[in-house]
């Protein structure tokens, strides 16, 4: 699968480059009431990055709460939440302009967790901080709703980190 996207500082990346890593991917908005989740996601990143976890943060103004550029969003997160994971390009997560990565995630993400049970395959992203966890071979995708605390992803992260490729 050849899905490409840019970092906030315009470096081209290919989703295939992340094979062999467990990826936590989410749509973010610095103006959202759920923005404190950045700090919890950073904690997961610090805990699991050396074991193979990558965090992919995609700012989105789909819900009108991210008015700044991706570079500005990255700066806000670094200053306010001490994030060190990479912020990617600003994208749309619903509608005809949905980024191909989020089309893939929505088509393959099985809902999990207390707040994710209502989500069905192909369902639109319901709000900022909808989280997707992708295994190392990119063949399994778990979807977690916006209200799911990042700490509640630890068992799924550990499951995917311990999978043999």
Just list the catalytic residues.
32
Q: Which long-range contacts (CB under 8 A, 24 or more apart) does 33-37 make?
A: 34/127, 34/128, 34/129, 34/146, 34/147, 35/81, 36/81, 37/129, 37/149, 37/150
DSSP class per residue in 20-58: TSEEEEEEE-TTSTTTTHHHHHHHHHHHHGGGTEEEEEE
How many angstroms separate the CA atoms of 115 and 26, rounded?
Answer: 15
Taking residue 114's Cβ as centre, other Cβ atoms within 10 Å add up to 11
How many angstroms separate the CA atoms of 11 and 46, rounded?
Answer: 23
């Amino acid at each position: 699968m050849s899905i490409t996207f840019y970092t906030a500082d315009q470096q081209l990346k290919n989703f295939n480059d992340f094979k062999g890593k467990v990826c936590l991917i989410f749509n973010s908005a610095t103006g959202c009431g759920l923005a404190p989740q950045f700090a919890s996601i950073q904690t997961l990143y610090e805990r699991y990055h050396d074991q193979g976890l990558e965090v992919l943060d995609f700012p989105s103004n789909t819900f009108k709460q991210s008015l700044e550029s991706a570079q500005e969003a990255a700066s806000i997160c670094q200053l306010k939440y001490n994030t060190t994971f990479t912020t990617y390009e600003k994208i749309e997560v619903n509608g005809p302009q949905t980024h191909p990565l989020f089309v893939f995630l929505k088509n393959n993400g099985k809902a999990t967790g207390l707040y994710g049970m209502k989500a069905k395959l192909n369902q639109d992203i319901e709000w900022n901080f909808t989280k997707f966890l992708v295994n190392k071979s990119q063949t399994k995708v778990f979807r977690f709703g916006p209200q799911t605390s990042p700490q509640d992803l630890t068992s799924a992260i550990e499951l995917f980190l311990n999978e043999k490729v």
